[in-house]
Amino acid sequence: MHRTARLTTALFGLTAGALLVSGCGPATETTPEGGGDVTIRFAWWGSDARHTATEAAVDAFEEANPGITVETEFGDWGGYWDRLATQTAGGNTPDVVQMSDAYLAEYAGRGVLLPLADRPEIDMTALDDAGVDSGEVDGEVYALQAGANFPAVLANPALFAAAGIEMPDDASWDWSDYEEISAAFAKAGTGAAGTDSIIGDPITNAWLLQRGDALFTADGEVGFDPDGLTGYFELVSGLSSSGGAPEASVITEQMVLSPDQWGIATGKSAMGFAWSNLLTTIEGSLGSELELLRLPSDGEESGIYLRGAMYYSIAASSKHPAESAKLIDFLLNDEAAADELLAERGLPLNTDIREYIADKVSEPEQRLIAFTVDYSDAFGKAPAVPAVGGGTYDQVVQRGISDVLFGTISPQEASQRVHKELSDLLIAAG
């Protein structure tokens, strides 16, 4: 039986940006001498439900792989990253780590992580190609999605019916249609706003992708021109000024609310933007089913992509990279692991596993899986992960949104300021 450690110590003053990496070159292959057991460490963050499911999957892995023992470590989000930074600085990184795209470039760029694309222990055959690409840094895959989500519009059929407004055709609508439909709710007199406002993630990158840009480039630069987000901020402003979205004070308050308190989750808005993995939470709060719609688009690009809700990576310092890779392969590809993990971390990267769990997951999760099948042609390449220093990009964008809504800066000024602030963050990170 593996040993579990809950990470509860808060190590203040340390962040992923404070990593001190020394001697973290690629690990050499090692095998147990004389047939002895190998012990590897696996660390993740998350809820008690994730902990329970992951422990059960690890038990199944150990049963299928005699001689490999997995010591597990888990904690909450903040404590996890503080602990991981400290462990890495001390040359004690766990063999397998749950990784976030916010810090992937940081850890990979400092030599902490092992490239995964050529690991013979990991079967890539059924893994979603675009999903695999999302774990790239500088042309190397350093992380594989433990679960994925995608940006979508959630729409409330009951509020559309009450307002006498037709549900939009998401096969052809554009952003002008979205504005018109939202504004129509202001005239319908139902008391519901047409939409929650755009408050940053998940729409910022999607909006840029539709225009051939992205927040960041693969080589770690800002991926749009200084005026490249002007239209985005004009859209934010127009939705609010038309009455289609709530007033500025409500929108800025929503930026710090949990998803179950958003307008789309409380019946105060007819539409809203969300990462797909929030569907269950939002419908649970609302108490009724929502329609899952593709994003409006003004061109050929949909802006829809599979984003890693979280990833699995291997420490470059691991003394047992082969066994660590076997664990990742099992978590991604084995039905015994899927029986325990289901969609707890998001949609499985393995498309066969998605089909395997389709009748085992909740009804909202079944609809999410069906969406990826029905609209598979709409999914494009994921944008590059945030560049080193750019992990707080959403806070930068949200400050721009807030100031535009309160009229202290223009949409063009907001775009230029966001570009400069992101550039400055990347320069400061070196």
Q: In 3-state terms, the chain is what percent helix, strand and coil (to 5)?
A: 45, 15, 40
Coil, strand or helix at 10: coil
353-to-109, 194, 348, 369 alpha-carbon distances in Å: 31, 37, 6, 11
Q: Residue 344: pLDDT band by 50, 70, 90 thresholds?
A: very high
Name the superfamily (CATH) of residues 4-147+308-370. Periplasmic binding protein-like II (3.40.190.10)
Domain with CATH 3.40.190.10 in the chain: 4-147+308-370, 151-305+389-429
- 67-78 pLDDT tens trace: 999 999 999 998
Answer whether 165's CB lies under 8 Å from 181's CB.
Answer: yes
Contacts of 365 (CB under 8 A, 6+ apart): 279, 280, 342, 343
Tell me what percent of the residues of the chain surpass a pLDDT of 70: 92
**Is residue 211 classed exposed, middle or buried when 0-12, 13-18 and 19+ CB atoms within 10 A define those classes?**
middle
Quick one: which of 162, 249, 156, 120 has its CA closest to 197? 249
Task: Look at residue 33 and tell me whether its pLDDT is greater than 50.
Answer: no
Task: Look at residue 199 and tell me whether its pLDDT is greater than 70.
Answer: yes
- Report CA Rg, the chain: 22
pTM value is 0.87
Work out whether strand 68-75 and strand 4-7 pair parallel, antiparallel, or are unpaired. Answer: parallel
- 215-273 pLDDT tens trace: 999 999 999 999 999 999 999 999 999 999 999 999 888 888 899 999 999 999 999 99
Answer whether 121's CB lies under 8 Å from 329's CB.
Answer: yes
Report phi then psi at 60, rounded to 5.
-65, -35
Quick one: which of 341, 304, 300 has its CA closest to 130? 304
Considering the domain delimited by 151-305+389-429, tell me its CATH architecture: 3-Layer(aba) Sandwich (3.40)
